[in-house]
Amino acid sequence: MDAVLLEVADAVATITLNRPERLNVLDIEIAEALADAAQRAAVSDAEIVVVTGTGRAFTAGGDVQAMAAADDRSAFMLDLVGAANRAMTALRAVRQPVVARVNGIVAGAGIGIVLAADIAIAVDTATFTPAYGAIGLVPDCGATALLPRAIGERRARDLLLTGRRIDAATALEWGLLTRVATTEELDASVADVLSAIRSAGPTAPSATKELLDLDGSYADALAAERAAIAREAATPFAAARLEAFARRG
């Protein structure tokens, strides 16, 4: 059974962590497979990428059993986190909008995957915990960089230093999530978001994401927006929409 699945259908690439019997924990193999799937999704003809898990967990984080069994734990962690970093880098580099479909438990590195997505939708029974302190370790997978931006400095320090577990409602209130849905409504909620993104056409959402990801000054942002909007205005999709809107007026 493949540890990570990639399916591209109807212009959506779905990446699925697929070790439900182990709560989709990240070992070196699954981290490398996640990096590979993200890279392949990025160059596919998909307009959107969805990341999810199978079973009752999105991912329970790193493979603690493998960590404990390693003869040289420091060397093992360098290898494991190196593989996880490649996966995070690949996810963050995906040109298309990335939607996290959070189907259950999120712990440790799972928080980093949620943060790497542009939009995160979770089932209302999902829980979120850093879990690092429970095993005497520090955060990884970009949590120290991205979590304060998502939920604020104070809350990020509280969450990462105390290791507290929060529920989906709290994660939504804090800004870690975009939406929360019941188990029965999760897929419909994800479908609604995908439909809303795709309503802007095949290229504008990726172009918008590129603008959001730019580093630089306000003047740099203005210049980049000017160039991007000019490019999009020349596409057939934008031409049809502009002309249809003008006729309505």
Interval 201-247: pLDDT, tens: 999 999 999 999 999 999 999 999 999 999 999 999 999 999 999 99
The pTM for the full model equals 0.95
Instruction: State yes or no: pLDDT of 249 exceeds 80.
Output: no
- Percent of the chain with pLDDT strictly greater than 90: 98
When pLDDT is averaged across residues 104-131 and rounded to a whole number, the result is 97
When pLDDT is averaged across residues 116-127 and rounded to a whole number, the result is 98
* Residues β-bridged to residue 49: 13, 98
Q: Put residue 81 in one of left, alpha, beta given phi > 0 → left and psi -120 to 50 → alpha.
A: alpha
* Helix 143-151 / helix 109-116 crossing angle, nearest 10 deg: 60
* CA pair distance 54, 15, nearest whole angstrom: 11
**pLDDT value of position 1:** 79
Query: Nearest Cα to 184, choosing from 103, 100, 99?
Result: 103
**pLDDT value of position 248:** 86
Please give the order of strands across the beta sheet that includes 119-123.
4-9, 12-17, 48-53, 98-102, 119-123, 179-181
